[in-house]
Structure formats: structure tokens, C-alpha cells
Structure 1
Amino acid sequence: MDMTAKPKLVSPVEAPTPVAKPSREEAEAAVRTLIAWAGDNPNREGLLDTPRRVVDAYTEFFGGYGENATEILATTFSEVGGYDDIVLVRDIPFHSHCEHHMVPFVGKAHIAYLPHDGVVGLSKLARVTDVFAKRLQTQENLTAQIIEAINEAINPRGAAVMLEAEHMCMSMRGVRKHGSSTITHRFTGVFAEDRQEQDRFFAMIRAGK
């Protein structure tokens, strides 16, 4: 066996291929097992319907596995009156789940790009954020996936993404540092090459705050 072989890379706009999906009954049974492991009785009145509710919640929390960022960004508009400056949508709220502890991290995304072939509907940037946030994640990976999806879909002259989030794995457990924020950002194209464009991006995020 070649131990130096690298794992196959998956395009950031594609959902990872899961293992065989358990049935709903198996998922609910797993929840009952966890309730018992936590020390409670899954058969007491207040917990009888909890497995069904948890599976319903997981369907919503992790709905991003069933969505495709390329399809969301497929429609662009070229009639923009020659506009070619920064398009920024800031303060996009998101919530995701840490892939290490499966507890939430919650924050805001700021997404900007410099148009090349056209612009995309502003709501699409929020929807793309949700596609990737509604998966098991790290904040670093989420940042990279959002910007790469934008680059692949609309081919901007440059893109910038910044995420600010509080991680419950730090607030609720471990070091228990409530209120700590984690900031990640990534630049491509003109934003990566020109520090002045980066400064403009940060200034536009701070404006009005």
C-alpha cells in the first residue's frame, strides 16, 4: 500500500459523500441511547418524544448537505450600469456546529467581491453561507468554502470573506470563556494582491457600527 498517497480533494462547492444513511428509527434509537448515557430515563414522560424532536432538529441544522452552492449562485446579472466596485453584504447571521464536539458556533459573515462578468443576487450570498454553515464544520473551513464557491461560480476579480463567531465549545465547556470571539478571513484575486482593497473591505465592515 502506498502510505504517501494523499486523500482525494473534494470541491468546496460539493457536499462530502456520506456513509450509508441510517434510518430514522435508528437515529431516534441513537438519541435514546445518548439520553440514557447522560443519566436520564428516555422512557419518562418528558423525554418520550425527544428522539423525534432531535431528529427533526438535525434535519434542519444539517440541511446544507442536501444543497448545492453552485446552483444557488448560477444566476448572474450583467445589466448593472457598468458598476465594477466592491459589492459587500455584511452582518449575515449564521449558526453552525463544530465538527469536534457537535455543539454550535454562532456569528456573522461579511462577504465582498469585485464584479467581473456580472453580479449575483444579494440574498444568494446569505444562502451560500447557510449551505456550508449547515454542515459539521470548523470556522476556518467554512471561511474557505464560502469564498471558493463564490470564485468558482461568478469568477470575480477578487473576493473577501470574514467570519466572526462565538464557539460554544469554548463558552460552555473546556475553558468556559463566554464572550470570546474567533475571527477568520480570506482574500483572493485583487483583495489578496492589494492591501488598500483589504483596508477598504475592513473599513466598510466597520462603517456605521
Structure 2
Amino acid sequence: MKEQDINKLEQAVTMILEAIGEDPTREGLLETPKRVAKMYQEVFEGLNKDPREYFDTVFHENHDEVVLVKDIPFYSMCEHHLVPFFGVAHVAYIPRNGVVAGLSKLARAVETAARRPQLQERITSSVADAMMEKLNPHGVYIIIEAEHMCMTMRGIKKPGAKTITTVARGIYEHDDVKRAEILSLIRTN
């Protein structure tokens, strides 16, 4: 993937400020292009990473029941409007042959998938697909709940509205009991 061009980002922000009728040389905006460029470097750092990389290292444990990490906070940028959306991800899987990932790796995969111009649906499926490919579990079930600023601050203007996406892979695709178990675990505090 292409590296981010800080100078080009700064120029683009300056042009946006000028295009909206602002004076980029006024005191409050002097450093804005530089700050926004640095923020974009951080916010879009997932462009040069692959969520699958977090599942290269695995552990072997005598465990063949659900592993769930819930309420993983994330932030992303809507690829349609380049405004944030944010929420939580719940990531569950059932290991096969005792192959487990470090718990932090589930959160890191979500963060990496989110840190690029993105769609919520794509985050959900890309993390599930990475886990299926690298861990070969019996199944993966992911739920993401997010508020999209493109619905909050523009357009329909409905703050607080949440979008929920789910992905079921493996055993979760057809086993209603297993899916119900995950939903029950997510709802418990």
C-alpha cells in the first residue's frame, strides 16, 4: 500500500479551509493543516496493515468452548463522507483442536480493520474472515454496534441511532442454539 504523504495532506486541508471560505493564515487555523495531517496518519494507519497478521501467533490450549471478547471500543471513518463512526465490537469464536489467539489480538484485529476509510459491514466481515482463515475455528460470530456521525450531524440528523452488523461463520451460520448463547453472553454485564 502507498504511504501517506504528509505534505499533500496539509495542502489538501489548506485547500478545504480556503474552499469553505476560511482564512488558513488566521491565528486559530495556522497549525490546523499540520494537526489534521498528523491525525489522518493515525486514523488511517490500518491502510498499511492486515488484520490477519494478529493471528500468526497462536497458542495450544485444551479449550473447545466459546471465547468471547465483548465491548471492544473502536473508531473509524465513513468512506462515503470521511466523518467518524464509533462503537463497540463483540468477537466470539470456538477454537478447533485447541488453537487459540491471544485475547488482545482480537481487539487489535478490530482496530486495524477500522483504521481506514471504511464501512461497518466490511469491518465485521474482514475480522471474521481473518479469524476463519488463520485460526480455523469451528465458528466465528461478530457483532458490531456503532453510531455514524454522517447520520448524526448531517443528512437525517438522528443522534444516538445505532447500526448493528453481524457476521456468522462456520458453526454459527446454521446453529441457532450457538448463536443464542453468544447473544446471551453479550447481554450479560
**Bin of the TM-score, shorter chain as denominator length:** over 0.9
183, 189, 194: which is aligned to 2:170? 189
1:22 to partner: Cα distance:
6.6
Correspondence for 1:158: 139
For the Cα contact (< 8 Å) 2:92–2:141, is it kept in 1?
yes
Moved over 6 A (4+): none
Query: 5 Å matches for 1:132-143?
Result: 132-143=113-124
80, 83, 91: which is aligned to 2:71? 91
Q: Percent identity?
A: 43
Count of paired positions:
188
Alignment TM-score, normalising by the size of structure 2:
0.96
Provide structure 2 residue ranges, at least 5 long, that are not aligned to the other structure.
none
Query: 5 Å matches for 1:1-209?
Result: 17=1, 23-78=5-60, 80=61, 82-117=62-97, 118-208=99-189
Alignment TM-score, normalising by the size of structure 1:
0.87
Deviations 1:67-122 (A, max 9, x none): 222221111111x2x21000000000001010000000010000000001410000
Deviations 1:134-173 (A, max 9, x none): 0111111111111001111111010000000000000000
For the Cα contact (< 8 Å) 2:24–2:30, is it kept in 1?
yes
